[in-house]
Amino acid sequence: MDSTMAALTAPGGMLGLGSIERFGVTLPTIAVAPPALNAYFAHYAGEHRDQVFLVAGDERLTFAEVEDAAERVACALVSAHGIQRGDRIGIAMRNSPSWIVLYMGIIMAGGVATLLNGWWQSDELEAAIRDVDCNMVFADPPRVKRLAQIAGLATPVIGIDDTQPLRIALDVLLKEDPVGVALPPLGPDDHATILFTSGSTGQSKGALCDHRAIIQAIFNYLGQAMMMLGIATAQGNPPVGQPVTLLTIPLFHITGEVPVFLQSFAMGR
């Protein structure tokens, strides 16, 4: 395992290492990683464009279809809702293709995808939304009902019927297809997501991540997968066919978000 990882991370290797100064400390980085998530989506969705990416019931969506839908969401957020870089947009939904496309679209628009716990009740949702000052919130039907119980909530809520196929579910947001919208350039220091602590000893707190942190996390997980691939191939037992995984973990949790959802772009999974 050590020799396989050393080859992957050596200069010129598939995951060659570099370094960066952060907070007065020199830290190792994976130098070949893209600078931000929008570039990551574009590269790997292009590489795997015609492969199936999401399966939900009878619905099948390719990488290209998902990226195209996310770009349309991003353009709508910028043109119709005035979203700017750094604006915080909540997602209060169960796992679905709509959740994934909204997450991507928020980030491509320069927003901060704020992942609200789908199990929260009204008071917990209210505390989180007010704490991080969400500009707007996307919610599926059960979460729309909980949000409607919050007295005086000024944050706009857009209901997404995720029981419908993606095209229909997003129609409320994409009624007019914006043309010629310029999406912002994004870099490693731009803010990307807010996830929340468990709240086991008090109110959940939002944890802010920049693009660099998420990209490096993805590529660290990818390094483990590539190491196992290299070992299996060397032993004459390479995997056959497209890799797949069953999403059993909430996407608002870091495990569902990074090693399962986001890593799947690079793996063509």
> Is residue 180 included in any domain, yes or no?
yes
Structure tokens at 147: 């949000």
> Is residue 220 included in any domain, yes or no?
no
> Is residue 45 included in any domain, yes or no?
yes
pLDDT tens, position by position, 232-249: 888 998 888 999 999 999
The tally of domains found in the chain comes to 1
| pLDDT at residue 155 is higher than 90 | yes
How far is the C-alpha of 186 from the C-alpha of 265, rounded, in Å? 19
> Is residue 143 included in any domain, yes or no?
yes
- Which three-class secondary structure state does DSSP give residue 29? strand
CATH number where 262 lies: 3.40.50.12780
The whole domain housing 162 covers: 36-210+245-267
How far is the C-alpha of 53 from the C-alpha of 43, rounded, in Å? 14
pTM to 2 decimal places: 0.95
Residue pair 136/89 in contact by the 8 Å Cβ criterion: yes
> Is residue 251 included in any domain, yes or no?
yes
Tell me the pLDDT band of 252, cut-offs 50, 70 and 90: very high
Tell me the pLDDT band of 198, cut-offs 50, 70 and 90: confident
Q: CA triplet 146, 149, 153: central angle to 5 degrees? A: 105
- For the chain, the distance separating the N- and C-terminal CA atoms, rounded to the nearest angstrom, is 23
> Is residue 97 included in any domain, yes or no?
yes
Of 203 and 252, the structure prediction assigns the larger pLDDT to 252
The Cα-based distances of 191 to 59, 71, 111, 194, 212 in angstroms read 32, 18, 8, 9, 9
